[in-house]
Chain A
Amino acid sequence: MAEKGKMNIERLGGVARLREENEKVVKDCESRIQHWQKVSGDYEALNKRLKTLPDQLSYDIMVPFGPLAFIPGKLVHTNEVTALLGDNWFAKCSAKQAQKVVDHRMKYVKHELEDLSKTMKNFEARVGLAKDLETISSSKGDYVDIREDTGNSDTPVTKGKQRIAHKPNSMPKMDAVLDLKEENEGESGDGGSRNGTLTEEELWARLDELEKLEELQDEQDRLSDNADMNGEDTSSMSSEEEKEGDASPPVNGLKPGWTARPHSKAPPSADRKAGEDDEEEQEEGSCLPTIFFSHTIEPKKVRINTGKNTMLKFSERKEQKEHSKRKKKNGHSHHELHKITTPVDIYRLFVDVKNGEPVPRKSILKSRSRENSVCSDTSESSAADFEERRVIGRSFSHDEATHSDTSDGITEEDSPTAVPLHPASRFEAFSGTVVEKDPMPSAIPHLTIALPALPTIPERKQEEVASDVPPPHQAPKRVSKFKAARLQQV
């Protein structure tokens, strides 16, 4: 910065000098213009004189006689004029001819005047520019010199790879995204006026990154709104959080959709959210590829959260979740339904009301998410379950769908049993690959029952461990429900 300041001073000096030089030229031009204007005036007068001279044969005049005297005399041969042609050449000619000569000269003078005025304008413009430069370099004006030091291109790129994405197909993107983010943030850490300093390419990369994240979020929301693919959700959320945590905090306005950072730092507002927050904060602190997850099932009271819980990566989605949670809790969801902020909301609109509660329409897609497909067990599917799952962060399916789904899936049974486990499991460091149950959950709304046989995610394992009893018990049930649902639909 000292160097920068020095350079500024130097630049300032240079710019000042430039301005002075330009002003000199301008003044010179002005003086020349004045001279030529005088000459032009003289010629005008001469013209007049020549016009009137031949009017009379002779004039009575006072002739200058030496430097101090005048003598009366006569001006004769009024039509004969000896004109100086230049370079000591004279020509005797009539007044009219002399006039022609004068006209010629006038032309020349005018030409010179025009040229001079043009140059003066040019230099005036340059002076203005120099003045602006001066103000800029002295940082007095509104303009800011945008600079970007690209010395951070060697930031470790591997950070992204450490993080495991839930969606295999999105992993490379995530990596790239993270890398870019790292670079961005690394670079952005250098100066204040960073917002404008990213190159175009970086901006595009950033846009892509954000886009992908949004897609990811969309999928997540769609898939696990209610039902919690426990581990997945948390892991995904937490991993995402971790990703964000890895990145240095001061990511300025270039992250329009990423409210996570501030949100993640926001005080946890709910228990489960608190748990998540803790997790996240832990993650942030560690910056290790550990993914904490919590299966905490939020107590209902917790569900009433503002949109500002740390889990909220995208506040909108959180709000949606909370809306849906509230819906489930209270049973009035319709007014929430109509608030469409994401495509997910649209899906929620397609809801059948059964048993006084909105039941999401059954999806024909298979998904192993626990959020079950349309299930008749909406009654069983405690809102708590849904909310729990949702709280865990992954919103795979729409609220309604997950509502009904969770009733089917393990999650239902899991949730009560899993509650005690959650606190225990919450703080288990999960390091390793969190493999998505299968690509489907991320891509497809989870309306199908999540089979317990998806133990790839340790979280799930824990859940299953916790709910050992229930799962086997559930499995047959789930199947039946699913079948029933399908039968129903059919």
Chain B
Amino acid sequence: MAEAIQKKLKAEVEKYAQMQKDVSKSMSARQKLETQLTENNIVKEELDLLDSTNTVYKLIGPVLVKQDLDEAKATVTKRLEYINGEIQRYETVLKDMEKKSEQHREVLSSLQQEFQRAQGLAVGKV
């Protein structure tokens, strides 16, 4: 009886660990997106400041490709929107993961209690 519970407990613990990893992954991805967001904001501001006299280049690999100012502006804006969307998506995913992890935690704790009880019984028996 105790062994069965132990096995269950282990399985649950593994699941919980997995959940935690996923959560952390999502978290880090979200943080990246956040930095990109800020950066793109700065770029947008700078581009607004620039006038058409200066050329804008985009770095693609080792190559600096000339870009039109307006095009650049548009691209940056689009990117910004994209980043925002991504962040939103990640947020929802994180929430779901949190809920699931909570559930797992509860299951774990109940299992632990059972296990302890069983152990206590076993000790008593012994």
Contact = CB atoms under 8 A, between A and B. Distances in A.
Interface of A: 82-83, 85-94, 97, 100-101, 104-105, 108
Contacts of B50: 91, 93, 97
Contacts of A105: 42
A97 B49 CA distance: 9
Interface in B21-69: 36, 39-40, 42-43, 45-47, 49-50, 54-60, 64, 67
A93 B49 CA distance: 11
Contact of A89 (B36, B49, B54, B58): B58
Given A85-B42, A104-B42, A91 B59 contact: no
Nearest to B36: A87
A92 B56 contact: yes
Contacts, number: 62
Nearest to B39: A86
B43 A85 contact: yes
A100 B55 contact: no
B46 A101 contact: yes
A100 B42 CA distance: 13
Nearest to A100: B49
Interface of B: 36, 39-40, 42-43, 45-47, 49-50, 54-60, 64, 67, 72, 76, 79
A108 B45 CA distance: 12
B45 A97 contact: no
A489 to B, nearest CB: 90
Nearest to B60: A88
B13 to A, nearest CB: 24
**Chain B at the A interface: mostly helix, strand, loop or mixed?**
helix
A85 B64 contact: no
B58 A90 contact: yes
Nearest to A98: B54
Contacts of A100: 49
Most buried by B among A91, A92, A100: A91
Given A91-B46, A101-B46, A82 B57 contact: yes
Contacts of A85: 42-43, 46-47, 56
23 contacts: A85-B42, A85-B46, A85-B47, A85-B56, A86-B40, A86-B42, A87-B36, A87-B39, A87-B40, A87-B43, A87-B79, A88-B59, A89-B47, A89-B58, A89-B67, A89-B76, A90-B59, A91-B54, A92-B55, A92-B57, A93-B50, A101-B49, A105-B42
Contacts of A94: 54
Contacts of B40: 86-87
Most buried by A among B39, B54, B58, B79: B54
A90 B72 CA distance: 10
A88 B54 contact: no
Most buried by B among A89, A93, A101, A105: A89
Contacts of B79: 87
B94 to A, nearest CB: 22
B43 A89 contact: yes
A432 B64 CA distance: 111
B43 A86 contact: yes
B110 to A, nearest CB: 24
A249 B46 CA distance: 82
Contacts of B54: 91-94, 97
Given A85-B47, A100-B49, A90 B42 contact: no
Given A85-B47, A91-B57, A104-B42, 6 more contacts: A89-B57, A90-B57, A91-B54, A92-B54, A97-B49, A104-B46
Contacts of A82: 57, 64
Contact of B42 (A91, A97, A108): A108
B56 A104 contact: no
Contact of A91 (B36, B39, B55, B60): B55
B49 to A, nearest CB: 7
Shortest Cβ-Cβ A-B pairs, 8 listed:
A90-B57, A86-B39, A88-B59, A93-B54, A86-B43, A85-B43, A85-B46, A92-B55
Contacts of B39: 86-87
Contacts of A90: 56-59, 64
B68 to A, nearest CB: 12
A130 B79 CA distance: 45
Contacts of A89: 43, 47, 56-59, 67, 72, 76
Nearest to B79: A87
A104 B49 CA distance: 10
